[in-house]
Amino acid sequence: MDILSMNITELEQLMKDIGQPTYRAVQIFEWLHQRFPAAADGVFSFNEMNNLPKNLRNELTSRCYITPANIVERLTAKDGTIKSLIRLGEVHIETVLMEYAHGRSICISTQAGCRMGCIFCATGQSGLIRNLTASEMCQQVYLAGGVRNIVLMGCGEPLDNFDATIRFVELITHPKGVGIGQRHITLSTCGLVPKMRELASRRLQINLAVSLHGTDDATRQALMPIARRYSIKELMAACREYTEITHRRITFEYALTSGVNDSPAQARALAALLKGMLCHVNLIPVNPVEGQSLSPTKRREAMAFAEILQKAGIPATVRRTIGAEVNAACGQLRAKKGV
Ligand code: SAH
Ligand code: SF4
């Protein structure tokens, strides 16, 4: 296993296996997660770990590895959003970094590609290339530096890579590492119902975002193949269970698409569906992707849609398309670079 993916218990076992005192495990964990170096070529050298004796550094060099990661290209939008194309081993993914008054937020990827095939999504068009490891998720955060909030909303479906994603949450929130608060992490899912239940049972304090995009099964099915597997009724039951167990507010994401899911009647149906739930609705005018004729709802109509929700007591915001000119819709930069 990539050593950056290992938790302290696993590092302790590794120390035992190589005849080192177990307290070295914490030293290794602290160094790796707090001082992870962003080498230009992405190749990590255990020799730099100057808190360890030379013989242990040599032992680590011969036994262990960290998947090389480096930023291939960086684009900055007028609003300051930075989009990075990152190489992880043999694949490429993207991150989006946003600067706020309360600190930096990063949107990271959990898979290279995605097998869910949502028709409005650039990532979905390529299918799944492979799952990312917890190490690769951590490195996306460490390459940015100074991050306070993390959203798992880049390429991929986090709950389709469940174990590595949970492992990542445990590593990145660990007090011996960077110690990011669980409440500062948001996981976005297209609605894998059994995995949402499993996530709830872990009793983490992370926020859940659910990609809804439709208020009836037919509309949702036309946009998202996963909606054929789980009905809106089943999805909403899993959402309610999540808020009951965690007491965390769910964010519903809704990509407003002209003539598909943006009528006033659909806004009223959405309000009825979410009535009484601890939630918030994020309305995002759909980002056009190549090969699809979906067009975004105009700003005025989007505001009217939001108003119907608000009047019904459902908190809703129209998200400005952050970093639109750097193609913040995941997969577009990668597609342009042909990698
Ligand atoms: N797989 C997860 C997380 C990654 S996608 C999920 O689907 O929730 C992150 C968000 O971007 C999702 O809400 C997704 O529906 C949305 N999205 C994808 N492509 C989009 C586009 N072209 N326009 C607007 N939102 C899009
Ligand atoms: Fe996958 Fe999310 Fe894109 Fe759907 S929207 S294809 S689940 S990344």
Task: Please tell me the distance between residue 189's alpha carbon and the centre of ligand 2 in angstroms.
Answer: 8
pLDDT value at position 136? 97
Is 338 a residue whose pLDDT tops 60?
no
pLDDT value at position 323? 52
pLDDT value at position 278? 92
Ligand 1: atom nearest CA of 121 is 19
Residue whose structure tokens are 């986090």: 158
Residue 299: both structure tokens together: 């700003």
pLDDT value at position 151? 96
Task: Please tell me the distance between residue 120's alpha carbon and the centre of ligand 1 in angstroms.
Answer: 8
- 330 as an active site residue: the answer is yes
Ligand 2: atom nearest CA of 224 is 4
- Residue 103 pLDDT level (bands cut at 50, 70, 90): confident
Distance between CA atoms of 59 and 189, rounded to whole angstroms?
A: 40
Distance between CA atoms of 33 and 180, rounded to whole angstroms?
A: 11
> In terms of DSSP H, where are the helices of the chain?
8-17, 23-34, 54-63, 134-144, 162-172, 193-201, 217-223, 232-246, 264-274, 299-311, 332-337
Share of the chain above pLDDT 90, in %: 83
For ligand 1, atom 9: residue with the closest CA: 153
Q: Read out DSSP for 42-108?
A: ----GGG-TTS-HHHHHHHHHH-----EEEEEEEE-TTS-EEEEEEETTEEEEEEEEEETTEEEEE-
pLDDT value at position 183? 96
Q: Which ligand is nearest to the CA of 108?
A: 1
pLDDT tens, residue by residue, 59-85: 999 999 999 999 999 999 888 899 999
Contact 209, 282 (CB under 8 A): yes
What's the average model confidence in pLDDT over 232-244? 97
pLDDT value at position 327? 54
> Among 12, 94, 157, 253, which one carries the catalytic annotation?
94
Please, what is the average pLDDT of the chain?
Answer: 92
pLDDT value at position 38? 63
> Among 114, 121, 138, 330, which one carries the catalytic annotation?
330
pLDDT tens, residue by residue, 168-193: 999 999 999 999 999 999 999 999 99
pLDDT value at position 335? 53
Residue whose structure tokens are 């990542």: 168
What's the average model confidence in pLDDT over 38-53? 82
Nearest to 305 by CA among 333, 335, 337, 270: 270
For ligand 1, atom 1: residue with the closest CA: 157
Pocket around ligand 2 at a 6 A CB cut-off = 114, 116-118, 121, 123-124, 156-157, 190
Q: Which ligand is nearest to the CA of 252?
A: 1
pLDDT value at position 91? 96
* Contacts (Cβ under 8 Å, ≥6 apart) of 34: 177, 178
| 191 exposure class (CB count in 10 Å sphere: 0-12, 13-18, 19+) | buried
For ligand 1, atom 7: residue with the closest CA: 190
pLDDT tens, residue by residue, 22-35: 999 999 999 999 98
pLDDT value at position 100? 85
Ligand 2: atom nearest CA of 121 is 3
pLDDT value at position 290? 80
What's the average model confidence in pLDDT over 96-112? 92
Strands 69-76 and 103-107: unpaired
| 103-115 burial code (b ≥16 CB/10 A, e <16) | ebbbbbbbbbbbe
Task: Please tell me the distance between residue 330's alpha carbon and the centre of ligand 2 in angstroms.
Answer: 9
Task: Please tell me the distance between residue 210's alpha carbon and the centre of ligand 1 in angstroms.
Answer: 10
The whole-model pTM stands at: 0.95
Is 303 a residue whose pLDDT tops 80?
yes
Residue whose structure tokens are 């302790």: 12
CA distances from 203 to 47, 190, 254 (A): 39, 20, 26
Best residue among 187, 190, 220, 287 to mutate for probing ligand 2, ranked by most atoms within 8 Å of CB? 190
Task: Please tell me the distance between residue 322's alpha carbon and the centre of ligand 1 in angstroms.
Answer: 13
What's the average model confidence in pLDDT over 272-285? 96
For ligand 2, atom 8: residue with the closest CA: 156
Contact 297, 258 (CB under 8 A): yes
Contact 318, 283 (CB under 8 A): yes
- 190 as an active site residue: the answer is no
Task: Please tell me the distance between residue 47's alpha carbon and the centre of ligand 2 in angstroms.
Answer: 40
